[in-house]
Amino acid sequence: QGLLRLARRSGQLNLAGRGLTHVPEHVWRINLDTPEEAQQNLSFGAADRWWEQTDLTKLILASNKLQSLSEDVQLLPALTMLDVHDNQLTSLPSALGQLENLQKLDVSHNKLRSLPEELLQLPRLRSLLVQHNELSQLPEGLGQLLTLEELDVSNNQLTAIPTSFALLVNLVRLNLACNQLKELPADLSAMKSLRQLDCTKNYLETVPPKLATMASLEQLYLRKNKLRSLPEFPSCRLLKELHAGENQIEILNAENLKQLSSLCVLELRDNKIKAVPEEITVLQKLERLDLANNDIKILLSDLGFVSFLKKGTQELLKYLRSKIQDDAPGPNEEPPVTAMTLPSQSKVNIHAITTLKLLEYSDKQAAEIPEAVFDAVGANPVATVNFSKNQLREIPPRLVELKDSVCDVSLGFNKISSISSELCLLQKLTHLDLRNNVLTALPEEMEALKRLHTINLAFNRFKVFPSVLYHLPALETILLSNNQVGSIDPLQLKAMDKLGTLDLQNNDLLQVPPELGNCENLRSLLLEGNPFRTPRAAVLAKGTAAVLEYLRSRIPT
């Protein structure tokens, strides 16, 4: 009765997570029945004037055990929002079609096999969420919902999309991920307001050329399909993110890339791409380029490319632009006479030291770095050091000799078990790659690395989030996947106002603190592969902004 009394005043009733197997009848009749307090108490304070009650506008019945909804839902005509997600519903009442004020309907995470035709009569519906059900088809007339702005039908068993979708000209977000779609109707191009289209994890082999005319499109997700080439997007001048990883793309068409002038993120990992066209350098706004796990051979043979990959997209593009003008030695030319041959028959590339400021001794399986490698530096300033893919068990002591100039150090794929004080003296360090070692902790002395903004600690043996990271104010990227981290401190993370990327995939997080949602500077938060129960995989799949919003909604008030 207390909840109902509050609901009459506020117009909102939240019965989520109460183990309900059915909705009590007086919930449906809350607008009709005379309140109990009116019959028992004839002296009212200002707060108890039941005759001034508000009609129910929001009803939340999420995370219960409901198997059906009563047709009595029609007794709540003022409802603007109905949330029944995470129940056991197998069908919806036709009476839903009479809720003419309904703007948001969330029936996700149920067992629905169909949607009632009456649903198409809702004249003000703006958000329809039906993801994670058992739908094999959608009503043919779904396009009648002309006011719809958000439609999520992901994680169902859909094999086709109704052609009437073309009528949804106000739709802004459409999620078709994780279905069984083999093709997209070309008529989708009529959705002139669409900004986000997610077709992840279907069976698409091509994308209709007409989709290239979707002038408002900003984010396009095509991951985990069967695409053999990147679609053309001549009219998509606003496209900012294109995710096409885990396909079968072999060739990047230079002309296609030129048209994507607003692109910030281009994700093409896990394809079969053999070469990167130089035209990629015209993408002046590109911030993130992911080409991991492809068949690229042309650029990877160049010493400079690997180092610039670690520095980030802008540095890589700058480097590629310079390569266009460079008169690089041909493949059959002899190496420069200044190359110094070591006893191990490995060469120190003096040209790389003097021109690229790069000191490289990688992929040699060496237990230590030969003295001659450091001797070759002389008085030359070195900005980038790459000692990855060796058998190093400690930080090379002579690294400290480069402290006045080095800003990028790669020691990944070694056997380093602890960080020595020498590393902490490299106070100009901005990028540090320590992935694939056997580290369990970081020393507090690393707090001296005030300029460090990227650290890669993936595939180590951390059981605790390294506390010194909380005290590095310039950090923008923390990569800590594939460790055994069990908890994080959201309050300390919130204080790191530069932090934009936090990768904690495949750790031992049993729970995600809701306060993490307050870290609104995070642009990329990766949490998949942990044992926590919430947020669910469906929330994680929506991306960082949705995860942070979900976490904020769970902060106790």
Residues 151 and 174: beta-carbon distance below 8 Å? yes
User: What is the structure's pLDDT at 46?
Assistant: 43
User: What is the structure's pLDDT at 298?
Assistant: 57
The reply to whether 362 falls in a domain is yes
Cα dihedral 177, 178, 182, 188, rounded to 10, equals -20
The reply to whether 4 falls in a domain is no
Cα dihedral 544, 545, 546, 551, rounded to 10, equals 90
The reply to whether 199 falls in a domain is no
Q: Rounded CA gap, 49 and 52, in Å?
A: 6
The reply to whether 508 falls in a domain is yes
The reply to whether 85 falls in a domain is no
Residues 150 and 173: beta-carbon distance below 8 Å? yes
- Which stretches within 273-427 are classed as H helix? 303-311, 313-325, 350-351, 371-375, 421-424
Nearest to 533 by CA among 555, 511, 504: 511
The reply to whether 285 falls in a domain is no
pTM of full prediction above 0.75: no
Q: Which CATH number fits the domain that encloses residue 448?
A: 3.80.10.10
Number of domains, the chain: 1
Tell me which amino acid residue 187 is: D
Model pLDDT for residues 85-127, shown as the tens digit of each residue: 999 999 999 999 999 999 999 999 999 999 999 999 999 999 9
HSE value, Cβ hemisphere, 13 Å, CA-based, for 501: 14
DSSP summary character for residue 75:
G
Domain that holds residue 508: 350-553
Query: What sign results for the dihedral spanned by CA atoms 245, 246, 252, 255?
Result: negative
Residues 418 and 394: beta-carbon distance below 8 Å? yes
User: What is the structure's pLDDT at 57?
Assistant: 95
DSSP summary character for residue 110:
S
pLDDT < 70 regions, the chain: 34-52, 234, 297-347
Residues 117 and 95: beta-carbon distance below 8 Å? no
Tell me which amino acid residue 255 is: E
Dihedrals φ, ψ of 118, to 5°?
-60, -25
User: What is the structure's pLDDT at 345?
Assistant: 34
What DSSP letter does each residue of 165-182 carry, written as one string?
Answer: GGG-TT--EEE--SS--S
HSE value, Cβ hemisphere, 13 Å, CA-based, for 44: 14
Model pLDDT for residues 374-413, shown as the tens digit of each residue: 999 988 999 999 999 999 999 999 999 999 999 999 999 9
Q: Rounded CA gap, 149 and 159, in Å?
A: 23
Query: What sign results for the dihedral spanned by CA atoms 322, 325, 328, 332?
Result: positive
What DSSP letter does each residue of 416-455 carry, written as one string?
Answer: --S--HHHHT-TT--EEE--SS------GGGGG-TT--EE
The reply to whether 38 falls in a domain is no
| Parallel/antiparallel/unpaired status of strands 347-348 and 340-341 | antiparallel
The length of the chain in residues reads 557
Name the strands in the sheet holding 265-267, side by side, starting at the edge strand that comes first in the sequence: 12-14, 58-60, 81-83, 104-106, 127-129, 150-152, 173-175, 196-198, 219-221, 241-243, 265-267, 288-290
User: What is the structure's pLDDT at 341?
Assistant: 34
Q: Rounded CA gap, 434 and 455, in Å?
A: 8
The reply to whether 491 falls in a domain is yes
User: What is the structure's pLDDT at 302?
Assistant: 42
**Secondary structure in 3-state letters for 335-357:** CCCCCEECCCCCEECHHHHHHHC
